[in-house]
Amino acid sequence: MSLSIDEVKALAKKVTTSSERAHYNGIVKLLAEFPAQPLPDVDEHGDSDREQHLRFLAVALFQVFKKLFARGELAPLSAKKQQAAGPAVVKFNQWCRKLYASFKTKLLAVLALYTQETSLALDCLDLYMQLLEQESVHFASRKDAPFFPNKTLAALIAALWQSRMDGDASQEVDQASGESANFLLLEFRDKYYKPFVDVQYYTQAELAELVVAGTVRTDDADGIAAAKWVALTNHDNHIDSPDAELEVFVSNPPQAIENESKFKGLLERNWCTFLNGTISPQLYKTILTVLHKRIIPHFHTPTKLMDFLTDSYNQGGIVAILALNGLFELMVKNNLEYPNFYPKLYQLITPELMHVKYRPRFFRLMDIFLASTHLSVHLVASFIKRLARLSLSAPPSAIVIVIPFIYNMLKKHPNCMIMIHNPKYISDPFQTPEQQAQLKAARASYADPFNMDEADPENTGAFGSSLWEMDSLMQHYHPNVASLAKVFSQPFKKMSYNMEDFLDWGYDSLLAAEASRRLKVLPVLEYETFDQVVADTPENKTSDDSEDAAGRAVYLPNITW
């Protein structure tokens, strides 16, 4: 740096304390000190002398231009004011505005081009937003006129979307959710976007224009643009949210920000644009997870999401499970018709379902989908039987969901009770010897007619099958599973289970419950102590060992070491 901190302070003080235009040349010197490109020695440690110098310089320039705002030397001159002021004043005004534009450009360069997480970049973001606030007051057409400097905000949005951390997509994106982890974007979201209604409104409006202009691209190869979009909007504090608590950032914003309908239209337009762009697999799952709560409510026309959701549902697997919530919203509230919905739902019940973390979400929805009494008994029986079969190889945390779910289904659809109580195979004391012989032969020749590989739940043969799997689970190694399965050996007088009591169980909760269980009777333990686990080999025995060998107790005497 050619200027020391004291020299920077002196130049800035001359401009802020004196209105003599001769001192304004110091602004040019200060701007020349502020780099337009990233500096190699401003790193992630945030304590370099270089960074401290740049921070002081940026604050000094901000104070200078804030003073110029107060003096009215940066406000645009109308044609009438230009005539009254004369060419010299007009030229000076244009020169000052050019310097101001240069300062904003340099701040944006720090935001867009610095690849390390530094406090300097955060300070530049704050300074830029303070300049925006100054513009809202001094760039208005007249005093106290409503105004928001939307083009200044648009330049900031473009810089934030251009910003990359370390030039590596893995550093830019949260690996779990797929959302952007860019520290500048998150700072802007938490500090300016979420709390302020005017910033939200004009961010959506300008972002839509930036996408149309091609400044912000949604088809980038790494999907960073969509990751930043979701990180910006994945919250519950939007303008049209019923419980939103928002303030205004500028002192006198235009009334347009109160138009919730217009905001919804902008948000809907941007969502549709980014959903049609490049989306990473992790981000795809995140979007489907929040779509029914944080996206659909903000759409004027939720049916615009039909193609996105049906394509997701047709993919199968985890993606289809996550798409169920959004699809259900459209089916209930927007009369979406999805052909072969139940066969597709049936095919989602796979061994993998019993292990995924989205299992509770799926069972909640399936409980709703199978609640109708107008469903075919063969269809319901197929769902029950498929779940029972998969429970044989499922972990205990999944089985404790399946058992009460099947119990509830049998209560809701009593015609399926034949699967656990078929009179055809039950003996009767009034049967003749011939009938008893036929019953014995029928039991001996019984073969489960259920076809696990059949894709159509109407043709699986489940209704003619039995739930012998529940009897097997009564012998399960886990005591909680075994005791829960015994409900099928008792009369069906119990009320339906509350599924919420079982959906969130896992290995940790099962172990915790077992460890904290109070025992009515303490277990009786019989044990004996041993001096050693295995016997010594003859080669390893010493004379002392030989003398003591007779008195030593060995746990595994037939194994030598």
DSSP 94-150: HHHHHHHHHHHHHHHHHHHH--S--HHHHHHHHHHHHHHHHHHHHSSSSTT-----H
Give first-to-last CA distance, the chain, whole Å. 74
Query: For the chain, which residues make up each domain, given as ranges?
Result: 1-139, 146-300, 370-515, 527-561
In order, the DSSP letters of 418-470 are: GGT--GGG---TT--HHHHHHHHHHHHT------TT-S-GGGS-GGGS--HHH
**Closest alpha carbon to 488 in 423, 427, 414, 403:** 403
pLDDT at 45: 45
CA 312 to centroid of chain Cα atoms: 17
558 DSSP assignment: E
pLDDT at 539: 60
pLDDT tens across the length of the chain (561 residues): 478 889 999 999 999 998 888 889 999 999 998 876 665 555 444 457 788 889 999 999 999 999 999 998 998 887 777 777 788 888 999 999 999 999 999 999 999 988 788 889 999 999 999 999 999 999 998 888 999 999 999 999 999 999 987 755 667 899 889 999 999 999 999 999 999 999 999 999 999 999 999 999 998 888 999 999 999 999 998 998 887 888 999 999 999 999 999 999 999 999 999 999 999 999 999 999 999 999 999 999 999 999 999 999 989 889 999 999 999 999 888 888 888 899 999 999 999 999 998 999 999 999 999 999 899 999 999 999 999 999 999 999 999 999 999 999 999 999 999 998 876 767 777 777 887 787 778 777 778 899 999 999 999 999 999 999 999 999 999 888 999 999 999 988 888 999 999 998 888 888 888 788 888 887 777 667 777 777 776 665 555 555 555 556 777 777 666
* d(C-alpha 59, C-alpha 64), whole Å: 9
Residues 66 and 134: beta-carbon distance below 8 Å? yes
Helix (H, G, I), strand (E, B) or coil at 180: strand
Which two tokens mark 87? 């060419």
* d(C-alpha 473, C-alpha 485), whole Å: 6
- Residue bearing tokens 């909640």: 364
